[in-house]
Structure 1
Amino acid sequence: MARTREAARRVFAVEYNSSQHEDRGLEENAPNYVITPLGESVNRMYLIGVLMSKTNNGTDDSPMYRAEIRDPTGTFYLYAGQYQPQALTALAQLEPPALLGVVGKIRTFVRDDGSFYASVKPEVIFPVDIPQRDRWIISTARFTMDRIRALKDAYGMDDPNEKDLVEMGHSGRTAASAVRSIGIYGQVDLEPIKKGIRDALDLVLEGGGESLGELPKMESGPSPKEAEKEKPGAEVKDTVFAIIKATMGNKGALYRDIIEECAKKGIDKIQLEETIQELLDEGLVYEPTIGIIKPV
C-alpha cells in the first residue's frame, strides 16, 4: 500500500535543535522521525527565517550547499545537494540576507561521542514577505504552546496517558506528544522554549503584527480539541487540493481561479481560506508570491 506524504510540521529552531532522539522505522523504507523535547514527531517540516550564510562544500560541477536559516529563536542548518535540485538551484541564486520559506525533511548526525545533531534537507525553498513570516510565527507559536500545555498537564499526572489528556481537552496528537516526551526525555526544562516563543511574538509586535489578529498568550487560548473540530473535512481538503493542481500554470495556481472553481463545488471563501491554511500547515502547498498557491 502506498504511503501518504508526511505533513510538514511547524517547529521553532530552539525546539528542533534541542532534540536528542530519532525514531527509526523498522520496516523497509519506513519514515524516520526526530522526536523533539516537547514530543513532536517530525519527518518533514515547514520553516521560515532569514538566510544568514551559505557555503558550497562541493564543487562547481557537483555543488553541496550548507546554509544557515535563522528564525527568532535560533538557527536551522540546511544541506542541499544533487538530490534536492530545486533547493540547490535556489541557494545558488540567493544571497544573504534573504527572508525564505523552506519545506524539507529531517537530517540527523550522531558523533562518536554520542552528540546528536538535527538539520534539514530542503525540498523547496521560496522567498516570503514579512506578513507570511508573521503568520508562520503565530501559527508555530500556537502549536508549540499546545504541546507545552499538554506536557505541563502530563507532569501533574501520576500515570501520564493519552486518554486522560484527551479528556482534559488536548487533541489526540498533542496528548501523544506529551506522553512520548516523558518517555524519552523525562521532565524537560520548558523555559528556553517559552522564552523563544516570547521572542518570536515580540518580533511580530515590533513589526505591527497586531493587524494579524489576537496573538496567542502563553498560558491561555482555545483548547487544541476545539481547534481540531474546526478543521475542514478531508473531502473538502482533497477537493481544494485537486482544484489547485488542475488550475495550476507554470508559476502555480492563481488564488482568484481557485476561488472561482471552489465556488462551483459549493466551497465558500471562508472554507477555502481555512482549507488552504491547513494545506500550508501540512506543507502540501506553499505560497511563492502573494496570490499564487503551488503544490510542493
Structure 2
Amino acid sequence: MREGKREPARWIFSKELRETTVIEENTEGEKMRSMFLTPLGSIGRRILFAGKVTNQREDEKSIRLTVSDPTGAFYLSFFERDFNQNVKRQLEKIELNQTVTVMGRVSHYTGEDGKILFNINPELIYETDAESMNFWNARTAYLCRRRIMRIKEALKKPDISTGVLTASGSTEDEAEGILKSIKAYPNYDYTKFEEVLTSLLFNQQISQNINIAKDGILEFLSSHVDPQGIKYEEIVNELLKKGISQNEVDEALNVLGHEGDVFEVSLKRYRKI
C-alpha cells in the first residue's frame, strides 16, 4: 500500500468474506496492520457492501447491526468510545428491514473452534433503494466473476506472473491478489461460488420482471376500466405480449394486492384502486 494513499474499499459479498481463512500481517511504520486475503483474491482492510438490516441491537455502550446480502450476513458494531460520532448519527437513523449501503473497516477474531470471524466497524452507512441494491449486486457479481475467470486462467499456467496478468487486463491489485489467493487456497471450489452468482443474477432478473409486470398491470387496468373488474386471462394475455410470464404476472398481482394498488373484485377479476 502506497504511503499517504487511502486504501480503497473492496466491493464484496458476505460469502467471500465468510470463507476467508487467511489474514496477512503487514507493518506500516510502527504499527502492525492486519489485512484479509479472500479466496477470490481480494486484499484489504476496508469493504463496501449493501443489504437489508435483519437485526438491530443498541445499549449504552454500542450499536450492533446485522446486514444481509443475497449470500449471507455481515455483522456491524459501533462503540461509544469510537471517535466518529457522525457514524453514530447515521446508525441511529437506520431502521430494521431497511436496505442500506455500508463502507467500513474489517476486524477479525478467532472463535473457540479456530475459525476466523469478522466484524465490520462502519465508516459510512446510509439507506439505499431497490434500484441501487440491484446495481450493487450486479456490479459485485461482475467483479467476482472477473476474478474467478482470471484465477482459472492463471491456474492453467504455473509460471504466470503479475506482469502477465496486468498485460491481460488485470489491475496491479487484482494481479497481486490472484497470485496470493492461488497459493493460499489451493483446494477452493470456485464452481460453488459461480453457482451462487448465477442464482443471484437469475433471481434479480425475475425481480426486475415482476416490477415491469406491476407497471404493465397498472397501465392496463387504468386504460381498461370495468366496474366488475378485468378478467385475469385478459391481463395475462396483455403481459405475455411484453415478454412477462404467467408466473411473474401472478406474483405481480399478489404484490399489488398486498400494496393496496389492485383489488380482486370477484374471483379472477381485478380493478385498480
Q: Normalised by the size of structure 2, how large is the TM-score? A: 0.69
Distance 1:197 1:210 in 2: 20
Correspondences of 1:140-289 after superposition (within 5 Å): 140-208=140-208
- Identity within the alignment, %: 23
Gaps of 5+ in 1: 212-296
Distance 2:192 2:134 in 1: 21
Distance 2:3 2:164 in 1: 33
Match of 2:68 among 63, 67, 70: 70
SS at match of 2:26: coil
Distance 1:31 1:132 in 2: 32
Which residue is 1:129 aligned to? 129
Which residue is 2:78 aligned to? 80
- In our comparison, the structure showing a higher alpha carbon Rg is 2
Give the deviation of 1:76 after TM superposition.
0.9
Which residue is 2:25 aligned to? 24
Residues 226-264 of structure 1: per-residue CA shift (max 9 Å, x gap): xxxxxxxxxxxxxxxxxxxxxxxxxxxxxxxxxxxxxxx
* Residues 1:210 and 1:197: Cα distance change in structure 2 (over 3 Å): farther
Which residue is 2:7 aligned to? 6
Give the deviation of 1:87 after TM superposition.
3.3
Structure having the larger proportion of residues in strand: 2
- For the 8 Å contact 1:134–1:209, the answer to whether it is kept is no
- For the 8 Å contact 2:66–2:74, the answer to whether it is kept is yes
**Aligned amino acid, residue 105 of structure 2:** K
Higher relative contact order (CA 8 A, sep 6+): 1
- For the 8 Å contact 1:155–1:187, the answer to whether it is kept is no
Distance 2:10 2:184 in 1: 20
Q: Normalised by the size of structure 1, how large is the TM-score? A: 0.64
SS at match of 2:179: helix
- For the 8 Å contact 1:66–1:80, the answer to whether it is kept is yes
Match of 2:49 among 47, 66, 79: 47
* Residues 1:199 and 1:89: Cα distance change in structure 2 (over 3 Å): farther
Give the deviation of 1:184 after TM superposition.
1.4
- For the 8 Å contact 2:94–2:126, the answer to whether it is kept is no
Give the deviation of 1:163 after TM superposition.
2.3
SS at match of 1:69: strand
Distance 2:152 2:185 in 1: 14
Give the deviation of 1:209 after TM superposition.
7.5
Distance 2:210 2:186 in 1: 37
Gaps of 5+ in 2: 212-273
**Aligned amino acid, residue 79 of structure 2:** G
- The RMSD of aligned alpha carbons is 2.3
- For the 8 Å contact 1:14–1:196, the answer to whether it is kept is no
Q: How many residues align structurally?
A: 207
